[in-house]
Amino acid sequence: MAGIGELMSYVEMIGDEGLREKVRAFLEEQRVLLTGQAFKLEESPGGRSHHHAYPGGLVQHTIATVRLALALCDVVEQVYGAEVDRDVVLAAAILHDVMKAPCYRELEDGSYRLSQLGERLDHVSLAVAELARRGFPLEVLHAVAAHHAEHGPISPKTLEALVVHLADLADSKLNGAVLRAARFLL
């Protein structure tokens, strides 16, 4: 399974030194500034039930989302001739679900429920608040806020936000379909 080391290699692809350092610091600290709560990305699920609902699922989903987002950047640039800010796409794809980790808690039976924090703030709102407190640029805040499109607080208004949304959606659907198909094989 993909790990935090691979995720950090994508951080190093961010060309803007200031943005790269902000992303690196966030991933290394793994702490919610609002509450002081620490969290562990590598142990967190990517969801409670729909996709990547297992330990390590969040990092696996994030890496798949980053890979898909970079492939979509290639398509947009090479096929459609549009320019994409890959630094914004990388930062947002890496961080889009990072606040799921403190929003979930694992039960004794291995299932997941919302944590006390997750019952009060959803992962998107918490991520935007944390990113703003850490001085991330508006373009990254928007792409993170818009990654659920019409099912979230705002729809994508930039090409970069659209790329992150489509990559996130594609991986969540792919993982859900693979897991459903696997149940029929067992």
On the question of pLDDT at 185 being above 60, the answer is: no
Query: Which pLDDT score is estimated for 144?
Result: 98
CB 89, CB 13: distance < 8 Å: no
**Number of domains the chain contains:** 1
Report yes or no on 154 lying in a domain: yes
| pLDDT tens digit sequence for 6-59 | 999 999 999 999 999 999 999 998 888 878 788 887 777 666 666 666 766 889
**Domain contains 186:** no
Q: What are phi and psi of 132, to 5 degrees?
A: -65, -45
* Domain carrying residue 71: 4-181
Evaluate if residue 186 carries a pLDDT over 60.
no
Residue 53 resides in a domain: yes
Whole-number average pLDDT of the chain: 88
- Is residue 21 in a domain? yes
126-145 pLDDT, tens digit per residue, is 999 999 999 999 999 999 99
Q: For position 161, which CATH number holds? A: 1.10.3210
Phi-psi region of 49 (alpha: psi -120 to 50; beta: other; left: phi over 0): alpha
Domain contains 115? yes
Q: Is the pLDDT of residue 81 over 90?
A: yes
Q: Residue 20 domain-assigned?
A: yes
- Partnered with residue 106 across adjacent β-strands are 112
Q: What share of the chain is helix, strand, coil (3-state, %, to 5)?
A: 60, 5, 35
Asked whether residue 121 is domain-assigned, the answer is yes
**DSSP summary character for residue 149:** G
Q: Is residue 26 part of a domain?
A: yes
